[in-house]
């Protein structure tokens, strides 16, 4: 318990003025005793608004995947393939902590709407990007906004439904995320082939306006009374933005080093070494602040000491990393190796997204029935490992029934595990720690995607740069790196294309092996997470430290 009265954790509650009828009274779930929640039509409207938000987030994560090869052809930037995803995920992940703090002290609704506005600004920058660098900047800005949207939606649900009902409702929300993810590659392919890839980002504007309007008029989220009397300046200072920026700078250095090392520059190059050194120094500085300066501590002690949060975070990072690697590079396989159009490649990755969609809903139902999130985590490890391992065997002549079935297995596995770390945070933490715990889990989830997409891009570039010159003596590697992913006519002669297709396939198999390794590693998080029933209430003490 903090020695400062204003920082002491309070049970999660709503002022009577913020309790609209009709309502439901929560079961005896620890810190939730006596809380009331909206019911009936009002809860339905809130759920629809949250589903719209998740649809927007899901669409933005996958709508670009099938357009990336065409974008690289236009901008002649094969070496930027990973950055279109990594820049988005990097800001999405690192600012989760700041949003967790802001959601704790300020109105969840207001911060959520601000996050949406930033997301829309980033989308507009992407839509108007004149070059690859501007597109990457826009993706980073959009990620900064998206960082607050998923945890904000989860926290609005926390204010709207009792704990025992949340797994099922969260399953519906995650399912909507899956619907958007399912439609994203198809929509992106349609835009890229029939109009322009820029519509992948323009579409976010009208959807965002509709979502914001619903949130404004139908969602109510009171500020925690423990922080209601704080000044705005104090609430913002509580977010520890300088410390967060220190972490952001460290991770940017890491991702740059992972992108450049061995691909653009040798690992021994001074620039790569300097990036790794700066990353290490900044990371140690961040850890030092958390350890020796409690006033600058970003992560609450109760969360630092909670084993379940860290194992759940490891599980989230590995499963999410595998998903993002697969979603980023499968369209490249279909367009570069199979010769599919952007539209057709969008259809080809739907088995993966469909498996994810169905099982994310089923996992919520399973958790609600059993009361435990652990079974779904084990099923995730099993199915995803098998599916990703089989995908890493793709070849030029892989028949359709195989690449469809293997994707379904991977999608089923990821779907089983996606929401479970979020349920862990809501189950094992005291109510006052839930906002930060959810944000922390989301951070680790997105960070896994950012780091391992960067690693995958490094492997992709390295092996292509080594494999093609070995098969075609005298080939100019710079011509490959300065071209597009599928711009074969500009890079190769007609008689060279049959030679390079198997090389592309083998290189992509190496990338998919990274996804398989990550899926296998999820078993560590599954085994380390304790068994806590969502039907028996919180297991953590109702206390929190700054």
Residues 271-315 pLDDT 10s: 889 999 999 999 898 888 877 776 667 777 778 788 899 999 999
Model confidence, pTM: 0.74
Looking at residue 117, what is its pLDDT? 92
Place of tokens 């990336």: 68
Residues 6+ apart with CB under 8 A from 524: 311, 314, 315, 318
- Main-chain dihedrals φ then ψ at residue 183, nearest 5 degrees: -75, -25
Angle of helix 400-417 relative to helix 497-528, nearest 10 degrees, comes to 30
In the predicted structure, residue 67 carries a pLDDT above the cut 80? yes
Query: Which range, of 84-88, 109-113, 158-162, 502-506, averages the lowest pLDDT?
Result: 158-162
Q: Which of 506, 423, 524 is nearest to 467 (CA)?
A: 506
Q: Which of 219-223, 224-228, 321-325, 518-522 shows the highest mean pLDDT?
A: 518-522
101 φ, ψ (degrees, to nearest 5): -70, -45
Q: What angle do CA 168, 51, 55 make, to 5 degrees?
A: 125
15-29, 74-88, 177-191, 458-472: least confidently modelled range: 15-29
Asked whether residue 114 carries a pLDDT value surpassing 80, the answer given is: yes
* pLDDT recorded at residue 22: 41
Residue 536 binned pLDDT confidence (cut-offs 50, 70, 90): low
Q: Sketch the domain layout of the chain as residue ranges.
A: 40-240+298-528, 241-297
Q: How confident is the model at residue 157 (pLDDT cuts 50, 70, 90)?
A: confident
Rounded mean pLDDT, 318-328: 90
Residue 384 has phi, psi (to 5 degrees) of -70, -40
Least confident of 17-21, 31-35, 314-318, 535-539: 17-21
Q: What is the pLDDT of residue 319?
A: 93
Whether the predicted pLDDT of 1 surpasses 70: no
Report the alpha-carbon distance of residue 181 to residue 136 in Å, rounded.
Answer: 21
pLDDT by residue (tens digit) across 399-442?
Answer: 999 999 999 999 999 989 888 898 888 888 887 788 778 778 87
Angle separating helix axes 40-62 and 204-218, nearest 10 degrees: 160
With cut-offs at 50, 70 and 90, classify the pLDDT of residue 127: very high
What average pLDDT does the structure give for the chain?
Answer: 80
Number of C-beta neighbours around residue 474 at 10 A: 5
Secondary structure (DSSP) of 2-46 = -SSGGGS-------GGG-PSSEEEPPS-GGGTT-EEE-HHHHHHH
The span from the CA of 521 to the CA of 325, in Å, is 15
Long-range contacts of 282-286 (CB under 8 A, 24+ apart): 282/246, 282/247, 282/249, 282/250, 282/253, 283/247, 283/250, 285/246, 286/243, 286/246, 286/247, 286/250
CA distance 228 to 169: 29
Q: What is the pLDDT of residue 542?
A: 38
Calpha distance 68→74 (Å, rounded): 10
Tokens of 185: 């590659």
Tokens of 404: 């469809």
Tell me the HSE value of 288 on the side-chain side, using a 13 A CA sphere.
Answer: 7
Rounded mean pLDDT, 503-524:
94
| Mean pLDDT (whole number) for 476-491 | 73
Per-residue confidence (pLDDT) for residue 386, from 0 to 100: 96
The H-assigned helical ranges of 297-349 are 301-304, 307-332, 342-348
Average pLDDT over residues 241-267: 80
For residue 213 the two structure tokens come to 């309007």
Strand pairing category for 36-38 and 23-25: antiparallel
Question: Once rounded to an integer, what is the mean pLDDT over residues 116-143?
Answer: 92
Residue 83's pLDDT band (boundaries 50, 70, 90)? confident
Residues sharing a CB contact under 8 Å with residue 61, sequence separation 6 or more, in sequence order: 88, 181, 184, 324, 327
Instruction: Indicate whether 316 pLDDT > 80.
Output: yes
pLDDT at 148: 85
Distance of CA 483 to CAs 197, 437, 479, Å?
A: 18, 43, 6
Question: What are the b/e assignments for 87-114, b being 16+ CB within 10 Å?
Answer: bbbbbbbbbbbbbbbbbbbbbbbebbbb
Report the alpha-carbon distance of residue 34 to residue 429 in Å, rounded.
Answer: 18
Contact (CB, 8 A) for 336 and 464: no
The domain 40-240+298-528 is placed in CATH, from the list 3.40.50.300, 1.20.1250.20, 1.10.3720.10, 2.30.40.10, at 1.20.1250.20
SS3 label, residue 265: strand
């Amino acid at each position: 318990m903090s020695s400062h009265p204003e920082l002491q954790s309070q049970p999660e509650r709503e002022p009577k003025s913020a309790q609209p009828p009709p309502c439901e009274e929560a079961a005896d779930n620890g810190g939730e005793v006596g809380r009331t929640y909206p019911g009936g039509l009002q809860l339905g409207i809130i759920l629809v608004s949250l589903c719209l938000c998740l649809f927007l987030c899901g669409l933005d994560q996958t709508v670009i995947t099938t357009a990336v090869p065409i974008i690289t052809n236009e901008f002649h930037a094969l070496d930027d393939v990973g950055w279109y995803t990594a820049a988005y995920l990097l800001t999405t992940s690192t600012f989760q902590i700041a949003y967790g703090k802001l959601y704790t002290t300020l109105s969840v609704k207001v911060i959520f709407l601000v996050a949406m506005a930033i997301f829309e600004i980033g989308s507009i920058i992407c839509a108007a990007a004149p070059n690859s660098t501007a597109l990457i900047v826009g993706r980073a800005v959009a990620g900064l906004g998206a960082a607050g949207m998923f945890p904000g939606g989860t926290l609005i649900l926390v204010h709207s439904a009792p704990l025992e009902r949340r797994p099922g409702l969260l399953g519906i929300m995650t399912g909507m995320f899956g619907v958007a993810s399912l439609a994203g590659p198809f929509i992106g392919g349609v835009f890229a082939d029939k109009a322009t890839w820029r519509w992948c980002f323009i579409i976010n504007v009208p959807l965002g306006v509709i979502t914001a309007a619903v949130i404004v008029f139908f969602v109510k989220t009171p500020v925690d009374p423990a922080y209601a009397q704080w000044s705005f300046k104090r609430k913002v200072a509580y977010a520890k933005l300088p410390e967060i920026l220190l972490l952001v700078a460290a991770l940017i250095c890491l991702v740059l080093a992972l992108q450049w090392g061995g691909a653009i520059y040798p690992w021994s190059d001074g620039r790569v070494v300097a990036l790794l050194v700066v990353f290490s120094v900044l990371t140690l500085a961040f850890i030092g602040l958390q350890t020796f300066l409690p006033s600058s501590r970003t992560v609450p002690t109760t969360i630092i000491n909670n084993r379940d949060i860290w194992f759940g975070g490891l599980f989230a990072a590995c499963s999410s990393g595998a998903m993002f690697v697969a979603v980023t590079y499968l369209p490249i396989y279909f367009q570069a190796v199979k010769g599919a159009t952007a539209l057709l490649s969008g259809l080809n990755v739907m088995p993966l997204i469909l498996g994810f969609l169905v099982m994310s809903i089923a996992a919520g139902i399973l958790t609600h029935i059993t009361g435990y999130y652990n079974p779904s985590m084990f099923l995730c490890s099993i199915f995803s490992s098998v599916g990703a391992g089989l995908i890493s065997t793709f070849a030029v002549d892989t028949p359709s029934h195989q690449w469809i079935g293997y994707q379904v297995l991977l999608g089923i596995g990821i779907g089983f595990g996606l929401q479970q770390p979020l349920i862990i945070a809501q189950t094992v933490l005291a109510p006052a720690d839930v906002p930060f715990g959810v944000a922390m889990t989301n951070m680790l989830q997105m960070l896994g995607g950012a780091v391992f997409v960067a690693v995958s891009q490094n492997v992709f570039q390295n092996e292509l740069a080594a494999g093609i010159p070995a098969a075609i003596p005298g080939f100019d590697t710079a011509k490959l790196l300065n071209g597009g992913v599928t711009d074969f006519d500009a890079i190769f002669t007609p008689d060279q294309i049959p030679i390079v297709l198997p090389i592309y396939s083998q290189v992509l198999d190496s990338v998919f092996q990274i996804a398989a390794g990550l899926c296998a590693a999820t078993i560590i998080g599954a085994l380390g997470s304790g068994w806590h029933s969502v039907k028996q209430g919180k297991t953590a003490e109702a206390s929190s430290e700054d």
